Amino acid sequence: MIQKSCVSLSIAFVVSASSMSVVAQDQQATSNSLEELVVIGTRTDQRLGQIPLAVSVVDQDTIQRGRQEIALDESLSRIPGIITHNRYNDLRISIRGFGARANFGIRGIKMFADGIPATLADGQSGTDDLDLGSAQSIEVVRGPSAALYGTASGGVISLTTEEPPEESFVASKLIFDEYGHQNYQIKTGGQAGNVGYLVNLSHLERTGFRDHSERQQSLINSKFRYDIDASSDLQLVANAVSSPKSRSAGAITLAEAAADPTQAQARNVSSNAGGEFDAQRLGLVYNKRFDSQRDLSLRGYSAWKDLDGFLPFGTHIPFAPADGGLSLDRVFSGGGIRYTQQGELGSLANTLTVGADLDMQKDQRQRFVNNAGIRGDLSLEQTERADALGIYFRNETDLTDTVSLSVGGRYDKIDLAIEDLYLANADQSGKLEFSEFNPSLGLLWNAAENLNLYMNYATAFETPTFTELGNPAQSLNVNLGGFADVNAQQAESFEIGAKGSNAAGNLYYDLALYTMDVDDEIVNVVSIANRAFFENASTDRRGVEGQIQADLTDKLKLTAAYTYSDFSFDSFDSQPSAVGKPLPGIPEHQLFAELDYSFSPRGYVVWDAMYVGDFTINNSGTQQVESYVISNLRVGTSYTLNTGQQTVSPFLGINNVLDEDYFANVRINAFGGRAYEPAPGRHFYGGVNIRF
């Protein structure tokens, strides 16, 4: 049995500037509307301008209006500090570089849907069951958030489903493109007595730009709210997704991409790489306001997932492991409590929030021999358990009329355990224990009527997931279970920033500068036959994030976001040649710009462009992807029919208007040069939304 205890206590000062990406549904994105926006970045309802954290918000209109609704990146691209890859397969998101190491899934970021975790107890996140067709808002906290949310080095992404409307409606939407993308949706909502409801059903089919990338998925997402009385309510969220087919084209070499970017990796085809899964999520949230100064929130949830699939290796591929068959049966459950009290500390206005979270994960994992896409003999069977307990507090005191001080901290205890049930290669059961206290300290100064300055210091930690604890194969034909020797990473961040608006209220801006030191960062060091393995290294991060949002005229609006990332290895015991080299997968410069023009009566034209600077794709910095520019255009309008009860809203879009050659995803430290997943060139999509 392996036991580790990682306990540390640090106290620091972090400065963080709030940024946001908001376009109000009425298209009046003035500074006043931005400052008054209420968000939950600090786990309490606060106006965005009063939060000494880097918090960004994307509203419903921006998420849903004329979008193809493939993945979150369509909405998140307008937020500085965020880099996304692989929207057409398995979306990868990084915030301030955290998450870039993942070849699949999302790491280093805590994710929530309607207050229910979409991040497992071991730290792995996924987006398969997130429903953009019924999303009301997406909130993003950039930077270390462990003092409130636990193991989140990069930040937090929280998606909220539309609230049940007072007036009943039925809406349907069809979205399609020239690569076989078809998305059918039907949504309804309303009130029945004290019960409000919102239900969205969608079905997705996609052939894909590349071979062997077909996908089918059906999803239902629902929210029910029962108003118990004037001061309390009960909210039920239920979500289910079924994907009978999800194939993976895999990464190919540069030469293969140049010859035919639509081709799949040969071993992905021969291995039948991909899978099928079913997942369900059920959550219950109770909110009680005792009076104007005290409120309580309780939540509980359970989630289930069954996955069967094949990885791109097996007995049919020379010099590769045989165990490419995968079966996973997962149960994830937990709950939380949060209490907030407003009052006075001496003669100073004060708000105190305390809470606790408990998350439990149990995975039944099996691996099988992959005989060219046919499941063979069992090669691994183990039960993986992760239990996470977190206790936190946050206190905010108004020192003066213009200065407030926030102090927070969170203690987390995370236990990871593997019970080996396949003993043909000896018992490799193991257990890891991590515990950590992470503080944060922030200062907010309302320097002028339209200007807020921030200072903030925070620490964060992040445990390795079960996948990142996998043992590097000593022989390509030997499957090893148990744990590799990977420590939890520690981050310490200092940030300063400013946000504000002009006197006329038609220009909003924010700026954040930060520095971050990360010890024992979990780094992808080698890929063996399409399987990644990890070790620890130390890194330095220096960054600048800026955004402006301006009403150029009554009808024309500009949003622009710039990200500068200077991230490098500070020490790396197993790869000393990487010291001083940039972290792979992260461009030094990224720039987003969008022009939104509204024409009478309800028409719009939106053009956006994203410049992504060149970046390296291996630790030693010897391989590099060149910079590129992606530009998109969408146009739509809305008609109300004579009855006044029906609205028809057609839209049309062009992705990659400039027909740029670029890669939708690049694998870090890929084996055999198979690192590149080409993206489609210029292509059209369209759709229509009909609402009764």
143, 147, 152, 158 alpha-carbon torsion, rounded to 10°: -80
Backbone torsion region of residue 425, taken as left when φ is above 0, otherwise alpha when ψ lies between -120 and 50, otherwise beta: alpha
* Structure token pair of residue 308: 């069967």
Place of tokens 């899964």: 277
Distance CA 276, CA 327 (A): 10
In a domain, residue 2? The reply is no
**The domain that contains 629 carries what CATH number?**
2.40.170.20
Q: So what's the pLDDT on residue 618?
A: 92
Q: So what's the pLDDT on residue 145?
A: 78
Q: So what's the pLDDT on residue 5?
A: 36
Which residue ranges in the chain fall short of pLDDT 50? 1-35, 38, 472-480
Backbone torsion region of residue 256, taken as left when φ is above 0, otherwise alpha when ψ lies between -120 and 50, otherwise beta: alpha
Q: So what's the pLDDT on residue 680?
A: 95
Provide DSSP, 453-486.
Answer: EEEEEEEEEEPPPTTTTPPPPSSTT----S----
Q: So what's the pLDDT on residue 670?
A: 87
Q: So what's the pLDDT on residue 43?
A: 58
In a domain, residue 5? The reply is no
Q: How many other CB atoms sit within 10 Å of the CB of residue 341?
A: 15
Q: So what's the pLDDT on residue 478?
A: 44
In a domain, residue 182? The reply is yes
In a domain, residue 44? The reply is yes
Query: H or E stretch including 535?
Result: strand 531-551
Beta strands 38-39 and 556-571: pairing type? unpaired
Residue 489 lies in domain:
31-691
Q: So what's the pLDDT on residue 41?
A: 54
- CA 326 to chain centroid, in Å, comes to 25
In a domain, residue 20? The reply is no
83, 88, 91, 92 alpha-carbon torsion, rounded to 10°: -40
Q: So what's the pLDDT on residue 39?
A: 53
Q: So what's the pLDDT on residue 482?
A: 54
Q: So what's the pLDDT on residue 24?
A: 32
Beta bridge partners of 639: 648
Beta bridge partners of 38: 47
**What's the structural domain count of the chain?**
1
In a domain, residue 200? The reply is yes
**Residue 624 to residues 81, 85, 359, 515, Cα–Cα distance (Å):** 21, 16, 39, 25
Beta strands 375-398 and 348-370: pairing type? antiparallel
Q: So what's the pLDDT on residue 483?
A: 65
Task: Give the full edge-to-edge strand order of the sheet including 109-113.
Answer: 54-59, 135-142, 155-161, 109-113, 116-117
User: Which class for 485: exposed (0-12), middle (13-18), buried (19 or more C-beta within 10 A)?
Assistant: exposed
The pTM of this model reads 0.90
Report whether 406 contacts 442 (CB < 8 A).
Answer: yes
Q: So what's the pLDDT on residue 247?
A: 94
* Structure token pair of residue 48: 């965005």
In a domain, residue 4? The reply is no
Report whether 60 contacts 464 (CB < 8 A).
Answer: no
